[in-house]
Each structure stands twice: as C-alpha cells, then as structure tokens.
Amino acid sequence: MIRFALDRKQIPPDTTKMPRFTFKLEYDGSRFNGWPDVQAALEAALAKNNTPARSLTPAEPTEAGVHASSQIVHLDLAAAHNPVMLKADLSTVLHGTALAIVGASSVPDDFDATQTIERHYTYRLFCRRATLTFNKGTMWRIDHPLDIRAMREAAHYLIGKHDFSSFCNGPAATRLSELRIESSAHSSGTEVRLHFRAPSFAPEQVRRIVALLERIGAGIHPPEIMREVLEAHSLSPDAPIAPPRGLYLDDIRYSESILQSAHLPLEPTPHLASGIGAAMLEQMPLPLLVITRKGRVAYANQFAYDLLPDMVIRQHFSETIDAPKFVRAVEAAIESGKTGKVRFSLTEGPERFFVAHIGLLPAGSEFGKSIRVIAAIEERTTMLKSEQMRSDFIANVSHELRTPLATVLGYIETLQGHAKEDPEARERFLAVMAKQASRMQNLVNDLMSLNKIEIEEHNRPLDPCALPPLVSEAIAAAQPLAERLGTSVIADIPAEMPRVRGDHAQLMQVLVNLLENAIKYSDQTQPVRVFAAAADARHPGQIGLSVQDIGPGLAPEHLSRLTERFYRVSVAKSRDQGGTGLGLAIVKHILNRHEGALEISSTIGKGSVFTIWLPVFSEV
C-alpha cells in the first residue's frame, strides 16, 4: 500500500476554480523512459480516478536515457480534490505500480517554484578492464583508467561559480552547491560517481561537465583546462558530451518545507544498515539478492554488485537476470514457498554459468514485515570451463601423441619386414621416424615447460631485465631457423630503454616463440621486424615490444583463440613446421606471471603484429 501523510486544511469544494498544486513523485526510473512516460502514467491515473487536471508540468524534465527516481510536478486541480481525497483515490489506482505520490500540497500564489527548487544529480561511469565486454547497462563504460585526483582538482574550479554558460545553450546555473567525486573498486573494474547539487542545473550541463572531467581524468587535458573553459564562457563546438546513460536524477526538492509529507519508498524496503542479519549478508562471500513479494530487488550486497554491475535497486529482478529457469524458481518461491537450487546461464555476451540457492526470509524480521525471497548466486563459469579445458587438454595430448606414435610403430613394423634389406627405404623411413620422434619430444618439452610456468605463475618476478640485450639474444637464437627458411630479422630497438621487471629466461622464451612463429609464417622475401611499441594509455607503467611479420595475416575470428592450448589456424602447416600448438599458450602464462599482456592485431594479406606489455622496473 502506498502511504503518504498530508497536513493541510480542508478547502470547500469549488469546481469553478483550478488552484495550483504540487506533487512529489517517487518511481522506478528503469521502468520509465524519461519524463513523457512518467507524465503518461500520472495522467492515466488521474483520468482513471476521474480527476480533472490541466497544465501538468515537471520541475525537471528528464530526457530519454536519463534515469530518475524522484520528481516534482505542478498541476492545476479542482479545489474539490483535496489531499485527503487524493490519498484515498490515487493510492488505490497507483497501488502495485512503479509510480508513487509521496507528497502533495497547494502552492501559494506568491510562490516562485523556479527559485526554490534544488536538484541532486549523480553521474556513474565505469572504468572496465579491457578484457571484459558489456553489452548493456545504465553506466557510461570506458576502457581506460581515470586519475581521480586530477578530476577532483579540476572540480575545485567549479564549486561556487556563478556563471556556467560554458556548459549550456540556455540559462546558466546560478550556483553549484556541491560536486563530490567518489570511486569504488570492483572485481570487474572501478566505478566512479560524480554527485552534483545545484538549484538550476539541467541534464545537458551535467553531461558536458562530466565529459570534460573524464577527458581530464584520462590525461588528455590538465586540470587547469576547467578554469580556462569557465573564463572563456564557451566550450568548443566539437567538445565531447557524456552519453545519457549514467545520469541519474536522484532527488529534486524545494528548499522550503512546502510539501507536508515524508518521503516513502514505493514498497516498504527497510534499510539494512544495522542488525546482525544485515551485517551477515554484507559479509557473505557470495552475491546475495533479497527480493520482495512483488519481485523487486530490495537489497543486494557488494558481491552482487560486482557480479551484476547493471543492477538497480527496486527494479524487477527479471530485468537484471533474464534467465527463464531463475525467473521460474524465484516466482515459485514467491507464490508457493518452494525453495531449492537452480542452474542457469546468461547468454548475453560470452555465456556465463551460475547456480542459485533460493530460500525464504521470515516475515517480521529486520528485512521486512512480509516474507522475502533470498537468492545466493554462485558463478560456475570458471569451474566449468576449467573442467572442459582439462578434458580437452587430455584429449588433445592423446591425439597429438597418438599420431606420431602410430607413424613410428608403422615404420618399425615395415623395417622389420620386407624393407629390412632395402637400404634406401631404410634411410627414408628412419628420417620420417626421427622427425616424428622430434615432434613428440617437442610436445613433451612444451608440456613440461607449461607445467613449470603454471606452478610459478603466482610468484611475481622482481628482478630488473634490460630489453636491448634480451632482444639481441632472442634474435640470435632464432637466426638458424631464419637462415634455413631464407628470411631475416631486423631489430629497431633504442639503445636506452627503461628496464622491465621480469625473469630473463622466461622473457627470452616469449620472444623466441614469437620470433619463430613470425619467421615460419612470414613472406620469405620480407624481413621480420622487432621494435618498441608506442606508449598506450591502456597499459600505464608498462613497456611494449612488438614482433611483426609480413604474411597472409589472420582472420578476426581466430585472434581471440590463438592463446588456447593446441589451437591452430592451419593444423597441417603447423605440424609440418614442427609446431605443438602450445607456443602462444606458454607466452600467455608467462605474461600473466609478469602482470603483463599480449595484444594481437592482424590484417588479411598484410601480416600480423604481436605486442607484449611488461611492467617497468621500480626500485621501490
């Protein structure tokens, strides 16, 4: 039941007059696409209640894509519809919807609403890790890290300013009461929240300020650019503007106490800030959701936000987890109290696998007066993929060993038979057997090397390593192969380069693997190049080395799988060249140990570039 308390003297009914009223609304912003949707819902409720109204206007109209949970509206109503009648009638109409009237009052004739309203906007952006992909969300997602200190320094220039015409096409804000920048680290990246509080800011102004602060945080502009923009009273026409997603109108209120009611949520969902139950939920090392009988998410712990960063409190749970099995299990718990375990998967983006344990929280506890559903969600993607990789690994090793073993055994049987007295055949067969035995030896060596690297992968190397001599040694090691295949290797490495933190022998193995791959698959008329990569903001504090070949190139669908064990673009050519299919898997694990990265770019008909990124050595 939607409840609100109003304290206003009764006015005798007079339908000839249409006095000005104000409503305070609260609603689930994820269910409305801007003010037009909210307006349509409110007008429908008034019409259903046979309440004549006109001149329905919002104090802060929000554009599509801007989420809001609060709004103040002004409208003209017949005097006969006093607050008590509105409570009795509209509460029934709006019950169970995503919209609630939480305050109402008449507006004095001399009341200037435009001068007494204060807005509170929040902009949320998410610095994701480059290895992850997000296809939906209510936050602006970027791939590069942000310097929060620089953003806060730039924000100081804005506080208290009286002219913000640089950031708007219409009337400028008169005063910025607050601009607070917060950040919180999650397992999938860092969330940055910018809180604005001002009397007359509009969404576009907030988004333009956020866009400039993001450029400052990314290192493209210094913090002082904010002062220059403010003093110039203009922003470049091609200046970036932040996307609507990410912008929230958290609250809008009168600075004067004109609304005579408390702010109540759409459905009673007590804050879980205290109590042993709340503390236990927050500290549990599993994502936990508390869901009301109407299906809304009433509470989520930090692990749930890490797992589902797009989740919005008060949103229906099916909009966050769109998995039919999970939805049916929660609905069964709500309707019949059935609890248990359910396995489901999310297919948007890379497929992810989960197990959810569905239970019930008793009524009358600190979690609410009615029964709540609690869902503990456990992600099994890594475990299932590991099991699949282990199974595939055993199958691949068996296959890789079976083929050369069968070949060797076949030739031994032939040499023991009719080819025993044929010297020419014997020499030919022995050469094939030697090649197959060498192939098995290479496979065993790579497997042992990979096993050793995986054992040490959690031990970060601490020693300094100079890159120019390392590159020279790797080229010398790969030179015999280059001469045999009729190609060459050219190094373009500065004599003075910062040292990196790494294991010399393992980094040598990485470069030799990359060089040998480039030599094998490069056009023999073109040299293989090794050069220093240009600095990249996605890899702060790291040095890049690139190995480039001029060859047939690789199709885009192969690039993400090249570091998988035994994955080959061309199986026949790889085996003919003596490859085991483990070279790039070894490279990946070595770079993981070094806290580095491997980037691969390729163009069909032009060749490929493999770039390794390594952390710069520091004495600290």
Distance of CA 242 to the CA centre of its chain: 17
% of the chain residues with pLDDT over 90:
14
Q: Count other Cβ atoms within 10 Å, centred on residue 264.
A: 16
Tokens coding 139: 């936050």
Using the predicted structure, report yes or no on whether residue 154 has a pLDDT greater than 80: yes
Check: CB of residue 233 under 8 Å from CB of residue 333.
Answer: no
Identify the sign of the CA torsion 264, 270, 274, 279.
Answer: negative
Q: What is the average per-residue pLDDT within 519-526? A: 85
Q: What is the average per-residue pLDDT within 163-187? A: 71
Check: CB of residue 73 under 8 Å from CB of residue 59.
Answer: yes
Contact residues for 390 (Cβ-Cβ < 8 A; gap 6+): none
H/E segment holding residue 116:
helix 113-116
Specify the pTM.
0.42
User: For residue range 567-591, what is the model confidence (pLDDT) as tens digits?
Assistant: 777 655 555 555 667 778 888 888 9
Q: How confident is the model at residue 214 (pLDDT cuts 50, 70, 90)?
A: very high
**How confident is the model at residue 5, as a pLDDT?**
31
Mean pLDDT across the chain, nearest whole number? 77
Check: CB of residue 437 under 8 Å from CB of residue 408.
Answer: yes
189: left (phi over 0), alpha (psi -120 to 50) or beta: left
% of the chain residues with pLDDT over 70:
77
Give dist(CA 479, CA 519) in Å, integer.
9
**How confident is the model at residue 338, as a pLDDT?**
87
Ordered domains of the chain (ranges, CATH): 20-111 (3.30.70.580), 118-254 (3.30.70.660), 276-379 (3.30.450.20), 381-456 (1.10.287.130), 457-620 (3.30.565.10)
Q: What is the average per-residue pLDDT within 154-169? A: 74
- Write the CA distances from 4 to 91, 298, 329, integer angstroms: 9, 20, 34
**How confident is the model at residue 428, as a pLDDT?**
83
Q: Count other Cβ atoms within 10 Å, centred on residue 23.
A: 22
Angle at alpha carbon of residue 121, lines to 317 and 97, rounded to 5°: 35
Residue 37: CA atoms inside 13 Å, Cβ hemisphere, count?
A: 18
Give dist(CA 523, CA 248) in Å, integer.
55
Give dist(CA 562, CA 578) in Å, integer.
17
- Comparing CA positions, the residue from 590, 431, 418, 583 lying closest to residue 500 is 590
Q: Count other Cβ atoms within 10 Å, centred on residue 172.
A: 18
Q: Count other Cβ atoms within 10 Å, centred on residue 85.
A: 14
Give dist(CA 263, CA 118) in Å, integer.
16
**How confident is the model at residue 260, as a pLDDT?**
43
Question: What type of residue is 133?
Answer: T
User: N- to C-terminal Cα distance for the chain?
Assistant: 61
Q: What is the average per-residue pLDDT within 410-416? A: 79
Tell which wins on pLDDT, 459 or 378: 378
Question: Which residues in 530-565 are b (16+ Cβ under 10 Å) and which e?
Answer: bbbbeeeeebeebbbbbbbbbbbbbeeeeeeebbbb
